[in-house]
Amino acid sequence: NGAKLCSNSPGQAAISTLAARFAESNPDLPAVSINVYDVPVMNAFAMPGDRIVITRELLAKASSPDEVAGVLAHELGHVVLRHSEAQLVRVTGLQVLLSVVTGGGSDTVGSVAGLAAILRYTREAEAEADDFALATLAAAHIDPMGLKHFFELVLKQEGKPSGGAFGRIGTVLATHPGTEDRIK
């Protein structure tokens, strides 16, 4: 709420140039909308409708264009593989199933089981998007080590204490495979 869309022309041009480079190496990629938002969290994510969001904080913390390229290729993987849409269907289906099984109440055991199923699926989707990113980077002749270096940055950030209860919950419910595994 209240996240400001960044409209820096040189920045948008750089992101557009990178997206065009990926499209040149893979003409089957869908046209995507890529926006940068001024959010103080280092993140990027794909959304339904072939949209990708990158945070200003991610761009600020990345130490090279190859790192940003790696993240963008990863998010393109989610778009191409329709992970966002599949996740919406999965969450809606699990909510209906849990409602039927629990009689519509808030059954903690059922909710935890449903959450575990979603997280397992999400970890698989993250690994698939990582594989897609490596192939996409190679096809575009971009050093895939940028993605590795970005994961190393993430690993350093993970070692820092997270603020408040959200940070603790986020660690327990992490949806990505272990960062060390992703670096390997």
* 34 strand-pairing partners: 52
Q: Which of 85, 72, 91 is nearest to 144 (CA)?
A: 72
To 5 degrees, how large is the angle CA 30–CA 22–CA 5? 70
pLDDT of residue 126: 85
pLDDT of residue 25: 93
Q: Determine the straight-line distance between the first and last CA of the chain, rounded to whole angstroms.
A: 36
Q: Does the pTM of the predicted model rise above 0.85?
A: no
For every one of its 184 residues, what pLDDT tens digit does the chain have, with 9 covering 90 and above? 567 888 887 888 889 999 999 999 998 999 999 999 888 888 888 888 888 889 888 999 999 999 999 999 999 998 898 866 556 545 554 454 445 555 555 555 445 555 454 455 577 888 899 999 999 999 999 999 999 999 888 888 876 544 443 343 343 334 455 667 777 7
φ and ψ at residue 55, rounded to 5 degrees: -90, 150
φ/ψ region of 170 (left if φ > 0, alpha if ψ in -120 to 50, else beta) reads alpha
pLDDT of residue 105: 55
Q: Which of 118, 95, 117, 116 is nearest to 106 (CA)?
A: 95
